[in-house]
Structure 1
């Protein structure tokens, strides 16, 4: 549903409701005319205010859209560059850590072999 259709329906409903209240209350003709004039001027002011707010909202949305079109791609590019820089800076550290992990694994394997050999040599069957 379009916003303009919604607002037209809303304003029409409010005007119809106000008119129904004005005409259904018991009052003299001059009082009724006075109340209709007052209500009419009040509604004109409120309608003018709503139009101004809608115009302001449209301008804000247009400004946000323009900002989003320029700022979002720029921010994405900056993030990509930051990630690429981080990856290039951490690549040597990552390689170094992988080498250290490999040497620790090798040392653990040698230690396990050594312990297994020592247990085999120390077993009661060999005594």
Structure 2
């Protein structure tokens, strides 16, 4: 949602509520003018508050996106480094496991030959 749409909706709702209250309340002209003046003053304060909060939100988003631009590449590099370290550490184990598997296969072949020789 864009901030301009939110502000437009807020203003429209406030004006509609103010007009509804003015026409549904039995008051004298002086009282109505006083109510309108009070409502407009309140609306100005609320609008200034909304503008301030929108500015804070905008600054916060800008700050977060700036931090993300700095942190995300560092995190990606850290992950890449960790993956490379993992690959290197598993490479040694891979070679050792391949040698052990080869030794087991050789032992099985020798065992099969031994069994075949004993059965003859």
TM-score using structure 1 length: 0.79
Q: Which residue of 1 aligns with 2:76?
A: 76
The residue aligned with 1:33 is 33
Q: Which runs of 5+ in 2 are unaligned?
A: none
Whichever of the two has the greater Rg, that structure is 1
**1:61 maps to which residue?**
61
The alpha-carbon deviation at position 109 of structure 1 amounts to 4.1
Distance 1:116 1:68, change over 3 A: same
Give the TM-score of the pair, scaled to structure 2: 0.83
Q: Is the 8 A contact 2:3 2:54 kept in 1?
A: no
| Two-structure CA RMSD over aligned residues (Å) | 2.1
Could you list the structure 1 runs, at least 4 aligned residues long, displaced by more than 6 angstroms after superposition. Answer: none
Whether the 8 Å CA contact 2:22–2:32 is kept in 1: the answer is: yes
Relative contact order: is structure 1 or structure 2 higher (C-alpha 8 Å, sep ≥ 6)? 2
> Is the Cα contact below 8 Å between 1:22 and 1:32 reproduced in 2?
yes
Show the 5 A alignment for 1:1-127. 2-115=2-115, 120=119
CA 1:93/1:31 → structure 2, altered by over 3 Å: closer, same or farther?
same
1:112 Cα deviation from its structure 2 partner? 4.5
Q: Which consecutive unaligned segments of at least 5 residues does structure 1 have?
A: 122-127
CA contact under 8 A between 1:23 and 1:32: conserved in structure 2? no
Task: After superposition, give the CA deviation of every residue in 1:5-51 in whole Å (9 maximum; x if it has no partner).
Answer: 33213322222222222232111112212211221111111111111
